[in-house]
Amino acid sequence: MQADNLLCLRKRRYVCTTDSRHTYAVYPNLTRDWKPNDINQLWVADITYIRLRESFLYLAVVLDAFSRKVIGWALDNHLRAELALEALIQALADRPVTPSLIHHTDRGVQYCAREYVGVLLSYGIRISMSRTGNPYDNAKAESFMKTLKCEEVYLHRYRDRDEVRTCLAHFIDQVYNGQRLHSALGYLAPVTFEAKLQEKDAAPRRLSV
C-alpha cells in the first residue's frame, strides 16, 4: 500500500495563534498604499506554531520588510505577550530605530497588549495593524512563515525544545538570512542584499564641477 501511495495521510492539527477577540486598542493599517524603499522603514511581525510529538512550541519573528531579513525571533511553549516582546527586544538590540519606522502586525492580543505597545511607543515607533481577517495585509511575514514550514519544519520530527531551537537558529541565521535567494532582492540573500546597500551608502559621491 505504501508503494502504491494508498496509505491515508493524517490531517495536521491546526493551532490558531491569533486571538483578535480582546478589549485592547487596535491601530489602523499604515501600509496599504505605501511600500518601503530602504531598510529600517517597516518591520513586520507574526507568530506561528511548531509541532512536537506530544505538544507545541510557538515562534515569534520580526522581519525587515525591505530586505526580508529576520531581525528578531523567540521560541517558547506559550502564546503570551512576552513571547512576541522577546522577539521585538532582540530586533531593537540589532537595528537602529529611525524616526519614521513603522511596525506592522495582525490584531492579535500579543501585539495589542499594553506591554508590547508600550515598548513600541517608548521608541517612537509608529504602530500599524492589518484589517480583521485579512492575511494579505501582512503578506511578507506570512510568506516567511510559509517558507519556514515548507523548507524546515515539515521536513523534521523534532524530539524536544532544544532540537527545535538549534534547527530554527540554523535555518533562520544561516539558510534564510544568509543563503536563500529572493527574486524581489535581485536574487540575493537578505544578508548580502543589506551588505550591498551599506556599500552603496558608504561609497563616496562624485562632486559636480
pLDDT (tens digit, 9 = 90+) per residue, 135-189? Answer: 677 999 999 999 999 999 999 999 999 999 999 999 999 999 999 999 999 999 9
| DSSP code of residue 188 | B
Query: Which of these, 81, 78, 46, 49, lies nearest to 153 by C-alpha position?
Result: 49
Residue 38 — pLDDT band, cuts 50, 70, 90?
Answer: very high
Residue 20 — pLDDT band, cuts 50, 70, 90?
Answer: low
Q: Which three cell numbers stand for residue 121?
A: 511607543
| CB-based contact 44:141 (threshold 8 Å) | yes
Q: Map grid coordinates 537558529 to a residue.
A: 169
Domain boundaries defined on the chain? 42-189
CATH 3.30.420.10 holds for 42-189: yes
pTM for this model (two decimals)? 0.85
Long-range contacts of 52-59 (CB under 8 A, 24+ apart): 52/158, 52/159, 52/160, 52/161, 52/164, 53/157, 53/158, 53/159, 56/15, 57/161, 57/164, 58/17, 58/83, 59/148, 59/168
pLDDT (tens digit, 9 = 90+) per residue, 87-141? Answer: 999 999 999 999 999 999 999 999 999 999 999 999 999 999 997 766 677 999 9
DSSP codes of every residue in 119-176:
HHHHTTPEEEEPPTT-GGGGHHHHHHHHHHHHHTGGG----SHHHHHHHHHIIIIIII
pLDDT above 90 as % of the chain: 75
